[in-house]
Amino acid sequence: MPVIHLDNQPIEFHPGERVIDAARRAGIDIPSLCYFEEVEPSTSCLVCLVKDEATGRLLPSCGVFAEEGQRFASETDEVRAARRSAIELLLSDHVGDCVAPCQFACPVHIDLPAMLRRIGADDHRAAIEIIKEDLALPATLGRVCNKPCESGCRRGGVDSPVTVCDLKRQVADADLASLTPYLPTPRPDTGKRVTIVGGGPTGLSAAYHLRLSGHAVTLLERRDALGGRLLDEPEDRLPRKVLLAEIAQMLSLGVAPKLGCESAIHLEPLAGEADAILLAMGKIDADSIASLGLKSGKRGVCVNEHSFETSLEGVFAAGQAVRGGGPIVRSVADGKLAAESIDQFLRGQTPHVESHPFSVRMGKLGEEETQRFYEVAVGKAEGGGRKAEIEVQRESATGHELSDFRLPTSDFALAASRCLACGCTAHGSCALEKYAIEYGAQAKRFGSTRREYQAQVAAGVIYEPGKCIACEVCAKIAAAAGEPLGLTLVGRGFNVRVGVPLNKSLAEALTEVAEKCVAACPTGALTSKRKA
């Protein structure tokens, strides 16, 4: 067979085959957003660029037919930078939230929409499994969290935010009071040992996630009980029995606590007992930091913001030891992130974590946009517009007994069903999101004034023009299928988007191939109501 070379690697190709197809058949993923094998490529997204080594030109690989002797570069810094810029241009005009605002605002980034869907379906076991994937002490945090998730809730622009934190707490309370509370299963033991100094919110969170990753964890605490500043919370806000029950459950994973340890810290003996150390002892002064041989930052121990590594190899710091203060939920999130970084370090990887998931964000919506968004979101729900206006009464969450925290099942489900599922339906499967993350794209690099949120609902399909990248795949699928009306590009310049010609409806445009267009859409601009 004839051969082309891609990054000096010989690639066999079939006569008449495009470069992108030959590469993918050889197991090389050249990214693309506008290429769909069944229709002619539009070469519009420019994400599939490769460099022709003979001419030095950057070419869209979906529009180039392979010929014997061609040589292309695909994974050079120059080509990757060009692809990243193409992705960033598309992101600059993208109207949507990859991740729901509540989940983005939550420092721990629990998948809150998924949790609420499970609660709305009365599947509390699945809900607690989602919660405990990210959160060690949900019943505790549900009482002391400052609830940034509810501040970000788009439902608040319509009437009032979904009572996310209360719902999470009640699921956790019911689980804790059950005969078989849920605990995730740790991964196989790695043989690696981690010592955590400090048994407060950061240390407990880190211990939980490190143990789940398969590492042996020793938790050192100077007090005679674990909990740190959680122990200082008033009883009517955080009942001690709830905190102790959750800590005991976490310790049952195999975390080894050592209480009443001396307050003076000496890293040398700890280093001899562990493969990594995490300093999570709370606020620490500059003199104490210097005595440890560490560098001081503005508020505490100086660390790499993307790894929590200190100036000493194998020593990490997080929470108030770094920040000098902050809400409890931030300390819990730091513990989770530090655990992820330490896990990478122990597995021989370069530690790197991000405090926020990648997400394009719409920001605050105007009044008309909010109402439009609400109507579309309610239309996604099974039952075609069920409105769950019931609120969880916060006064019901002030008792001390776990049995006091249970709403009637119907009210509980209705309160959760108020969620508008604001995150993108295509989150996790969107090609634009995938490649934006892979190429380290910045959503706001080419910042522009956001267009208004728009949506059309018809033929079992939701179309959000703000997510459209004008790839024309859906229009070409409709044309190939012989749709009498079909879709086309409308508008001028930067505002060109796919639309229905002659001001007709989406239902008239897609009579036969709506689901095929949904499946081929690379960005979630077209989604199925049944999948939403």
Residue 381, in any domain of the structure: yes
371 and 389 in a single domain? The answer is: yes
Domain hosting residue 66, numbered range: 3-92
* pLDDT of the residue at 34: 92
Residue located via tokens 């050192």: 220
Which residues on neighbouring strands pair with residue 463, listed in sequence order?
A: 456, 526
Tell me what the mean pLDDT of segment 429-440 comes to. 95
337 and 202 in a single domain? The answer is: yes
338 and 263 in a single domain? The answer is: yes
80 and 164 in a single domain? The answer is: no
pLDDT, tens only, 72-114: 999 999 999 999 999 999 999 899 999 999 999 999 999 999 9
What's phi and psi for 52, nearest 5 deg?
A: -75, 115
Number of domains making up the chain: 4
Residue 433, in any domain of the structure: no
pLDDT, tens only, 31-74: 999 999 889 998 999 999 999 999 999 999 999 999 999 999 99
Which of 69, 92, 115 marks a domain boundary? 92
pLDDT, tens only, 13-24: 999 999 999 999
SS3 annotation, 320-374: HHHHCCCCHHHHHHHHHHHHHHHHHHHCCCCCCCCCCCCCCCCCCCCHHHHHHHH
* pLDDT of the residue at 385: 36
* pLDDT of the residue at 532: 40
Which of 125-134, 378-387, 482-491, 504-513 has maximum average pLDDT? 125-134
Residue 421, in any domain of the structure: no
Q: Which of 198, 245, 203, 192 is nearest to 223 (CA)?
A: 198
Cβ pair 293, 286 in contact under 8 A:
no
52 and 131 in a single domain? The answer is: no
89-118 core/surface letters (b: 16 or more CB in 10 A; e: else): bbbbbbbbbbbbbbbbbbbbbbbbbbbbbb
58 and 86 in a single domain? The answer is: yes
Residue 186, in any domain of the structure: no
194-228 core/surface letters (b: 16 or more CB in 10 A; e: else): bbbbbbbbbbbbbbbbbbbbbbbbbbbbbeebbbb
CATH classification of the domain holding 512: 3.30.70
152 and 170 in a single domain? The answer is: yes
518 and 392 in a single domain? The answer is: no
167 and 308 in a single domain? The answer is: no
381 and 472 in a single domain? The answer is: no
pLDDT, tens only, 239-286: 999 999 999 999 999 999 999 987 678 888 888 889 999 999 999 999
236 and 314 in a single domain? The answer is: yes
Residue 283, in any domain of the structure: yes
Report whether pLDDT(402) > 60. no
Which of 57, 92, 127 marks a domain boundary? 92
Residue 423, in any domain of the structure: no
